[in-house]
Amino acid sequence: MTATADATTGQPAGAQPADTQPASWKETMAVFLARQIRDTDRICSGAHTEISFAATMLAQKMHAPNLKLQLGGGAFLCNVADVEVDELPKTSVDYRIMGWAEAYFEHHDTFNHYGPPGGRDYYENTDRWRSTNKYFFADKFFVGGIQVDRHGNANLIGTGKDGHFTFRGPGSVGINDVTTVRDAYVFMTAHDRQRFVMASDYVSMPGPKTYREKDLMGNGPQFIVSPRCVFDFSGPDQTAALAGLFPGHTEEEVAEHTSWDIVRSPHFVDIAPPSATELRILRTAIDRKGVLQK
Amino acid sequence: MSRGAQTLQAGPIELPDGPPPRREVVTSAREVVAQISDGQAVAIGGFVTANHPMPLVRELIRQGKKDLTVIGSATGGLEIDLLLGAGVVRKLIAPYCGAELYAPLGSCFRTMVEREQVELWESSEYILYAGLQAKAMGQEFMAWRGGIGSSIVDLNPDLKVFPSPLGDGKEYVAVPAISPDWAFLHLGWADSYGNGQHPGARFGDRIMARAADRVALTVERLVPNARIRANPVMTSVPYADAVVVAPYGSHPYASHGFYAEDAGHIEAYVRATAGFRRGDRSGLDAYLEKYVFGPDTQDDYLDLVGGRTLRALEAEYEHLTLGRHAFDVFGG
């Protein structure tokens, strides 16, 4: 509980009641990602984004207390199912993460968790290995990008060509290292034709087609998530197909802001807005300062 | 969609009975070992005369497991020798098996290697760790210079020498991944969710845990989760698959933070197995009968050892560590 929050509701002072103010796009994405998390998943929410931090902690509190959750790069295994969270961490080494942790290991030791239990069989017969308890990096992982293309190649490195940059991004960070991650979610916080391109200038995480061709152990990107919609991948070339629309967004609007032709996935769904319960827990137990509402 | 990828969850997850409980993993040595199939690979943690998960080691013998691949620590102790003598091991991955000043080499180890009754995967300390690390990292092999020019690469056909791709004319050893189905480790304490902490030396236990598909701990104490959270930096093995509460669980070997090794017991084992090289199993069989097949439970085993002996080992540990007992040093 912080000084600026109402002592009885835990809401930011002056805010509207927790479940009446409409969900922001960040809250909608966080709730959507939380829904995708299963109780026995092992997930790293690595480099700091407030949306994926909130999503994973929300899942642990709502339906996945057995989620093995590495928060931050530095490598804290956290369980907040029964722990009070005062506010979202500000960086991936925010010291309050230590207060939620059951284990800490050196950052370089993170890479000693890249081998899944069962080796390659983990991906073929995932349910057989769900009974194992150990932490693995990771069943799901959220990958940022300044560009993503129709084959799911994510680019955090920069724009330009032939080793030159017209725009320099953060770099690949650790993204190209996570070859054993089961399902990566390419995670875009803006959706326009500059970002959703036919072919990424550089590649920090290759798309699922390249994962298959190069026989990398994991599945590679399985979804692209933006504030407007979700894509999955289908066909021999693993091409992006529209798998879901967030409330208030349309296929025409997505087509207007995407460089490739929009095709609906056979698995297309309309994504339900955050429920009152989801929003209440997000706002009163995870994001008490309303970071996701800004 | 590809292998195992899930479809989207479009709406809220409805759980009429609320969220499931957190999984608790406290169990018995018998139940852990019952999950081991003949032919599987089991890594045994600790080092020489310290921190071996003995209730699990004895249970492997008691349940008559066969054809195991046993992966010893980088300096394996006589717990490996016991497994060899008891006939549960087909293949051994361990650079050493003995007890140093107590016994330069385990008698069963030496005899069975010389008579080719066990398949020894010849290795060295870092070749062992490189193999475990390859598995932990999800790679097929690790490159390592150690072993080049030695006989280790000749004695072990799985170790492949290859030229450096950097064009400097050097050779490297490709150490293939070593894949334990289980790691059995002895730690000071753990919570019921499987978070284990070492109050002393960790030896090679952490890399064994990271390489293994599943991990079982024997622990001196079961502690509340709050105790683990008070110092998460100490959690060396998060989320083990099984926690077996076994006070004095490393006896006759030491447990860092708690008690010294039982020199008298170890010396008695060395004497009992001395005849093994001459084909005389009677000493080993008598030891197995008394300490492995005789006692049904860890408590029965401890009754055999005797409270007086156990208290003396605790006192010796306190004396050797100037009274810096683990529970004092680490806030217990």
Query: What are the tens digits of pLDDT across the range B302-314?
Result: 999 999 999 999 9
Upstream peptide bond of A138 is cis (omega within 30 degrees of 0): yes
- What was the ipTM of the complex prediction? 0.91
Q: What are the structure tokens assigned to B292, written together? A: 């492995």
pLDDT value of position A5: 38
Q: Do A208 and B2 touch (CB under 8 A)?
A: yes
Q: Read off the pLDDT band of A2 (50, 70, 90).
A: very low
Rounded to a whole number, what is the distance in Å from the CA of B159 to chain A's nearest CA? 20
Q: Is the pLDDT of residue A17 over 80?
A: no
Q: Touching check for A219 and chain B: CB below 8 Å?
A: yes
| Mean pLDDT score, B275-302 | 97
Upstream peptide bond of B95 is cis (omega within 30 degrees of 0): no
| Mean pLDDT score, B248-258 | 97
Name the architecture of domain B26-122+180-329: 3-Layer(aba) Sandwich (3.40)
Q: Do A39 and B8 touch (CB under 8 A)?
A: no
Q: How far is CA A55 from CA A44, A81, A168, A175, A287, in A?
A: 12, 13, 28, 20, 10
pLDDT value of position A16: 52
Place of tokens 């199912």: A81
Share of chain B above pLDDT 90, in %: 94
| Mean pLDDT score, B178-194 | 98
* Of B74, B91, B80, B83, nearest in space to B133 by CA: B74
Q: What are the structure tokens assigned to A138, written together? A: 């990771």
Q: Do A133 and B240 touch (CB under 8 A)?
A: yes
Q: Is the pLDDT of residue B330 over 60?
A: no
Q: Is the pLDDT of residue A8 over 60?
A: no
Q: Touching check for A156 and chain B: CB below 8 Å?
A: no
Which residues on chain A are in Cβ contact (under 8 Å) with B15?
63
B139-167: b or e for each residue (b if 16 or more CB lie within 10 Å)?
bebbebebbeeeebbeebeebeeeeeeee
Q: Is the pLDDT of residue B27 over 90?
A: yes
Q: Is the pLDDT of residue A85 over 90?
A: yes
| Mean pLDDT score, B154-158 | 98
Q: Is the pLDDT of residue A6 over 50?
A: no
pLDDT value of position A48: 62
Q: Do B232 and A230 touch (CB under 8 A)?
A: no
Q: Do B235 and A77 touch (CB under 8 A)?
A: yes
Q: Is the pLDDT of residue B282 over 60?
A: yes
Phi, psi of B160 (to 5 degrees): -110, 130
| Mean pLDDT score, A76-99 | 90
Q: Which residue has the higher pLDDT, A126 or A41?
A: A41
Q: What are the structure tokens assigned to A222, written together? A: 């399985």
Compute the count of residue pairs across chains A and B with CB atoms less than 8 Å apart: 164
Q: What are the percentages of helix, strand and coil residues in chain B, rounded to 5? A: 35, 20, 45
Instruction: State the span(s) of chain B assigned CATH 3.40.1080.10.
Output: 26-122+180-329
Task: Summarize pLDDT for B189-246 with one digit per residue, the tens.
Answer: 999 999 999 999 999 999 999 999 999 999 999 999 999 999 999 999 999 999 999 9
Q: B220: Cβ–Cβ under 8 A, 6 or more apart, which residues?
A: B187, B188, B189, B246, B247, B248, B249, B255, B257, B258
**What's chain B's average pLDDT?**
95
pLDDT value of position B297: 93
pLDDT value of position A9: 41
Task: Summarize pLDDT for B44-85 with one digit per residue, the tens.
Answer: 999 999 999 999 999 999 999 999 999 999 999 999 999 999
Q: Do A267 and B232 touch (CB under 8 A)?
A: no
Residue A192 carries which DSSP code? Answer: S
Task: Summarize pLDDT for A154-177 with one digit per residue, the tens.
Answer: 999 999 999 999 999 999 888 899
Choose the closest CB to B13 out of A63, A134, A271. Answer: A63
Share of chain B above pLDDT 70, in %: 95
| Mean pLDDT score, B22-48 | 98
Choose the closest CB to A112 out of B1, B133, B177. Answer: B133
Residue A202 carries which DSSP code? Answer: S
Residue A293 carries which DSSP code? Answer: G
* Of A14, A17, A24, A28, nearest in space to A278 by CA: A28
Q: Do A232 and B1 touch (CB under 8 A)?
A: yes
pLDDT value of position A18: 57
pLDDT value of position A95: 84
Q: B296: Cβ–Cβ under 8 A, 6 or more apart, which residues?
A: none
* Of A18-27, A220-229, A247-256, A278-287, the least confident: A18-27
pLDDT value of position B218: 98
Tell me which amino acid residue A88 is.
L
Q: What are the structure tokens assigned to A124, written together? A: 């073929």
Q: Is the pLDDT of residue B268 over 80?
A: yes
* Domain A141-267 in CATH 3.40.1080.10: yes
- For the CA atoms of chain B, what is the radius of gyration? 21
Q: B23: Cβ–Cβ under 8 A, 6 or more apart, which residues?
A: A66, A133, B193
Which range is most confident: A17-21, A69-73, B247-251? B247-251
Q: Read off the pLDDT band of B332 (50, 70, 90).
A: very low
Which residues on chain A are in Cβ contact (under 8 Å) with B214?
117, 132-134
pLDDT value of position A11: 46
* Of A44-53, A126-135, A183-192, the least confident: A44-53
Parse chain A into domains and list their residue ranges.
24-81+91-138, 141-267
| Mean pLDDT score, A121-144 | 92
Q: Touching check for A172 and chain B: CB below 8 Å?
A: no
Distance between CA atoms of A56 and B84, rounded to whole angstroms?
A: 47
* Domain A24-81+91-138 in CATH 3.40.1080.10: yes
pLDDT value of position A72: 80
